[in-house]
Amino acid sequence: MSDKFHTELNRLKQDTTEMAQFARDMLRESLDALFNQDTEKALQVYSRKKHIRDVTIALEDRTYQLIALYQPMAKDMRLIACTLKMITAAERIGRYGKDIADMVKDLRDQPDFPQRLPIPHMADLVLGMIDDVIVAYKTENLDPIKNFTSRDDTVDALWLSILREMLTFMMENPQTITRSAYYIMVARYLERSGDHACKMAENIHYMITGEWIEIE
Amino acid sequence: MTSEPIISTNDLNLWYHDTHALQSISMTISKNQVTALIGPSGCGKSTLLRCFNRLNDLIDCVKIRGEILLDNENIHAAGTDVVMLRKKVGMVFQKPNPFPKSVYENVAYGPRVHGIKNKGELDSIVEQSLRDAALWDEVRDRLHDSALGLSGGQQQRLCIARTLAVEPKVILMDEPCSALDPIATAKIEKLIDALKQDYTVIIVTHNMQQAARVSNYTGFMYLGKLIEFGQTNQIFENPREDLTENYITGRFG
Ligand SMILES: Nc1ncnc2c1ncn2[C@@H]1O[C@H](COP(=O)(O)OP(=O)(O)OP(=O)(O)O)[C@@H](O)[C@H]1O
Ligand SMILES: [Mg+2]
C-alpha cells in the first residue's frame, strides 16, 4: 500500500464533507424559501439537483475505485464504508431540499395559516443534527453526535404533532387543504432527514470506534 | 467459534547468537482452524513457525527458552522423537521444493520412510493425498513423470500432498503462494479452507488480503514480539493496537 492511497482517501473525505455541506444548504435554503415565499430562491435551489446527482455519482465512483485498487483494511475500511453511507444520506437530504423547493411556487396563491407552526423549529432541530453529523465526520469526534437518540425523539414528536395539527386544519377549513398537505410532506421530509442524520451518526460511530450502536 | 487448543506457547524466547528473534511469545493455536501470522519482514514469523516442529534445531547458534505444548506435551521434553514431531507437524515452504523424482515418489516418500511398504497401501495413500491437495485430476495420468515438469502452482500443491501423506495434525505454511500467480493462489486458498476440516493450518503471509480471506485467527508480530492476536475479522476490521492498525493500513515506516 502506498501514501497515494491515504492522500486520495483524505481528499475523498474532504470532498464528501463538502458534498454533505452542499446538500445541507439545499435543505436549509429550500426551507427559507418556503417560509419566506421566495420563489426566486426556490428556483435557484431546485436548479442544483443536477449538481448533487453528478457529485454523488463521481464520489461513489471514486470510493469504489479506492476499494478495488487498495482493498483497505481496519480504520481505512471503516472510513470508506462510512463515506459511502454519508454520500447516500447526503444525496437524499439534498433531494428533499429540491422537493421542498419545488413546492414553493404551488403555494404562492394558497392562503396562509392563521397561526404559527412548529415547522421552522423542527427544521432548526434537524438542520442542527445534520450540521453536527458533518462536524463529527470531518473531525472524527463523537461529541457532537452523542445525544442523538433524544434529539431524534423530539423530531419524531414534532412530526406527529404537526401531522395532527394539519389534519385538524384541513377538517376545519378546506381552504387550507393544499397548504396543509404540502406541509405534512415537508414535516415528513424533515423527519426522514433526521433519520438519515441518525444513520450517519451510527456509521460515524462505527468509523471512529469500530463498534456499532443503535440510535432509535 | 469454540475451539480446543492444539498448540500453545508460553513465554517462548529465541536467540540467534545475540539476536533476540522471539521475545516472550505466548499464544494458543486452535485445532481445525487456520491461523495467520503477519508482520513486517524480519519480525520473526518464519522463526516462530519453525519452532512448532523444531526446525530451528538444525541451526547451530539458536537458543530457545520457554515452553511449546503440542497436544499438551512439551515438544522440547527429553525423549521427544523429533522425526515423529515433524510427521505430526508438517511444513510447506515458500518456494515449491519437490524432489527431482516422479510425482508418485514425491508423495510416497514420507509414508515409506515411516515404514509403509505395501504397494496397494502406498497407491491409495498417494491417490488420497493428491485428491486432498486438489491435484489428483491434473496429475492422475502423469504420476510417473517427473515432478519438476509440473507448473509452480501444481508443484506447490504436490508439496502439500507430500505433507498430507504422512497424516500430520498441523500444517505449517511459510508464504506458500508468494511464488504463484493469482489463479494458482486461489486454488491454494481454496485448498487451505478445505484442509481445516481435518487439519490445523498455520500460515505466514505478506498478503494481508490473503490472511483476511483464509484465516480464522491472526497474529501480528513486530520486532520479535507478538503484538496482537485475535479473530481475523476483528484484527482487520478493528484492531486494538495502534501498531497493528498502522501496519495493516500501510502506514508503516
Ligand atoms: N539462521 C539465522 N541466523 C541468524 N539470524 C537469523 C536466522 N534466521 C533469521 N534470523 C534473524 O531473525 C529475525 C527474524 O527472522 P525471520 O526469518 O523469522 O523473519 P520473518 O518475519 O520470517 O521475515 P520475512 O517476512 O522476511 O520472511 C531477523 O532479524 C533475522 O535476521
Ligand atoms: Mg519468513
Model pLDDT for residues A56-97, shown as the tens digit of each residue: 999 999 999 999 999 999 999 999 999 999 999 999 999 999
Which of B12, B13, B14, B16 best tests ligand 1's pocket when mutated (most atoms within 8 Å of CB)? B16
Q: In what order do the strands lie in the sheet with B5-16?
A: B19-30, B5-16, B62-70, B73-74
Poorest-confidence range of A70-74, A113-117, A200-204?
A: A113-117
Q: Is residue B115 part of a domain?
A: no
Mean local confidence (pLDDT), B185-198: 93
Domain membership of residue B61 as a residue range: 5-97+170-248
**A2–B contact, CB cutoff 8 A:** yes
- Does the pTM surpass 0.90? The reply is no
State whether the beta carbon of B47 lies less than 6 angstroms from ligand 1: yes
How far apart CA B204 and CA B35 sit, in angstroms, is 9
Q: Is residue B102 part of a domain?
A: no
Residue B28 has what pLDDT?
A: 98
* H/E element, A3: helix A3-35
**A174–B contact, CB cutoff 8 A:** no
Burial track A77-94 (b if 16+ CB lie within 10 A, e otherwise): bbbbbbbbbbbebbbbbb
Task: Work out the percent of chain B whose per-residue pLDDT is above 70.
Answer: 99
How far apart CA B85 and CA B76 sit, in angstroms, is 10
* H/E element, A122: helix A119-139
Mean local confidence (pLDDT), B40-62: 95
Going from the N-terminus, what domains does chain A have, and what CATH number goes with each? Answer: 3-209 (1.20.58.220)
**A212–B contact, CB cutoff 8 A:** no
Residue A111 has what pLDDT?
A: 85
Give me the amino acid identity at B19. Answer: T
Nearest CA to ligand 1 atom 1: B59
User: Which residue of A73, A209, A210 is in closest CB contact with B249?
Assistant: A73
Q: Is residue B133 part of a domain?
A: no
Q: Is residue B46 part of a domain?
A: yes
Q: Is residue B111 part of a domain?
A: no
For residue A41, pLDDT beyond 60:
yes
For residue B253, pLDDT beyond 70:
no
Residue A112 has what pLDDT?
A: 84
Structure confidence at residue A115 as a pLDDT band (50, 70, 90): confident
Q: Is residue B76 part of a domain?
A: yes
* H/E element, A81: helix A74-107
Residue B221 has what pLDDT?
A: 98
Residue A1 has what pLDDT?
A: 45
Whether residues B249 and A74 touch (CB distance < 8 A) is answered with yes
In chain B, the number of structural domains is: 1
- B177: domain CATH number is 3.40.50.300
Nearest CA to ligand 1 atom 3: B16
Q: Is residue B123 part of a domain?
A: no
The rounded Å distance from CA B93 to ligand 2 centre is 10
Nearest CA to ligand 1 atom 2: B16
The CA-atom distances, in angstroms, between B250 and each of A2, A5, A59, A207 are 7, 9, 23, 18
**Which residues fall inside 5 Å of ion ligand 2, going by CB?**
B 46
Task: Work out the percent of chain B whose per-residue pLDDT is above 90.
Answer: 91
Structure confidence at residue A114 as a pLDDT band (50, 70, 90): confident
The CA-atom distances, in angstroms, between B112 and each of B115, B136, B143, B163, B165 are 5, 20, 17, 13, 10
Whether residues A77 and B236 touch (CB distance < 8 A) is answered with yes
Residue B15 has what pLDDT?
A: 97
Mean local confidence (pLDDT), B7-26: 97
Tell me the per-residue pLDDT of B85-108, one tens digit each, with 9 for 90 and over. 999 999 999 999 999 999 999 999
How far apart CA A177 and CA A81 sit, in angstroms, is 43
Average pLDDT, chain B: 95
Q: Which ranges in chain B belong to alpha helices (H)?
A: 45-51, 82-88, 103-113, 119-132, 136-139, 152-164, 182-195, 208-214, 232-237, 242-248
Q: Is residue B120 part of a domain?
A: no
Angle of helix A49-70 relative to helix A3-35, nearest 10 degrees?
160
A4 → chain B, closest CA residue: B250
The rounded Å distance from CA B43 to ligand 1 centre is 7
What residues form DSSP beta bridges with B28?
Answer: B8
Mean local confidence (pLDDT), A27-45: 97
Which residues are CB-neighbours of B167 under 8 A, at least 6 positions away? Answer: B87
Mean local confidence (pLDDT), B123-140: 95
